């Protein structure tokens, strides 16, 4: 289950990924240490996610398979959806500013959530531990 409170533990290739996203160096340095925490509450195919970081706090509601809007901390707007395939959450999002795709997956492994990202050929991971 994805339910619970998850705190960022470590990143893999996240700076390269952010660079590919066009995020400037100062913001990348800050974002690499954003103290991201997510609280996930899943009820059937509905999710409620509370996100908090050094940048902001926000709450997101989405239903599996249903498009919704999400803005990154730098204001970049995405539109897309999450789907569940087996135990894997798969997200396909489109940047509104340039139409390019950002794909992401979440899987629970032991006491960790591994979130993978891909944008324009660059992969990254952010790994969260259960709080
Ligand atoms: C959630 O489930 O937490 C809310 C929806 C997340 C949508 C997409 C996440 C992509 C985040 C990409 C971060 C890239 C920063 C450069």
| Ligand 1 pocket, mutate which of 93, 97, 116, 128 (most atoms under 8 A from CB) | 93
- Residue 79: give its domain's CATH number: 2.40.128.20
Query: What confidence score (pLDDT) does residue 94 get?
Result: 98
89 lines ligand 1 (CB under 6 A): no
Cα first-last separation, the chain: 14
Q: Which of 56, 16, 10 is nearest to 33 (CA)?
A: 10
| Ligand 1 pocket, mutate which of 5, 45, 115, 117 (most atoms under 8 A from CB) | 117
Dist. CA 52–CA 20, nearest whole Å: 24
104 lines ligand 1 (CB under 6 A): yes
The two three-digit tokens of residue 51, written as one number: 């996100």
**Could you tell me the pLDDT band of residue 103, with boundaries at 50, 70 and 90?**
very high
Q: pLDDT averaged over the chain? A: 97
Q: What is the pLDDT of residues 73-83, one digit of tens each?
A: 999 999 999 99
Domain carrying residue 105: 4-130
Tally of domains in the chain? 1
Closest-CA residue, ligand 1 atom 3, reads 49
Q: What is the pLDDT of residues 2-48, one digit of tens each?
A: 999 999 999 999 999 999 999 999 999 999 999 999 999 999 999 99
Query: What confidence score (pLDDT) does residue 54 get?
Result: 97
Q: What percent of the chain has pLDDT over 70?
A: 100
Query: What confidence score (pLDDT) does residue 63 get?
Result: 98
ipTM of the complex: 0.93
Closest-CA residue, ligand 1 atom 7, reads 70
């Amino acid at each position: 289950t994805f339910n619970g409170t998850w705190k960022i533990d470590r990143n893999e290739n996240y700076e390269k990924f952010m660079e590919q996203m066009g995020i400037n160096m100062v913001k990348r340095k800050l974002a690499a240490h954003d103290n991201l925490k997510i609280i996930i509450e899943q009820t059937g195919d509905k999710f409620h996610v509370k996100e908090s970081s050094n940048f902001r706090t926000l709450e997101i509601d989405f239903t599996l398979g249903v498009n919704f809007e999400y803005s990154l901390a730098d204001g970049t707007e995405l539109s897309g959806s999450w789907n569940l395939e087996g135990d894997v959450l798969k997200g396909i999002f489109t940047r509104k500013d340039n139409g390019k795709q950002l794909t992401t997956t979440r899987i629970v492994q032991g006491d960790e959530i591994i979130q993978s990202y891909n944008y324009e050929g660059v992969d990254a991971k952010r790994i969260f531990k259960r709080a």
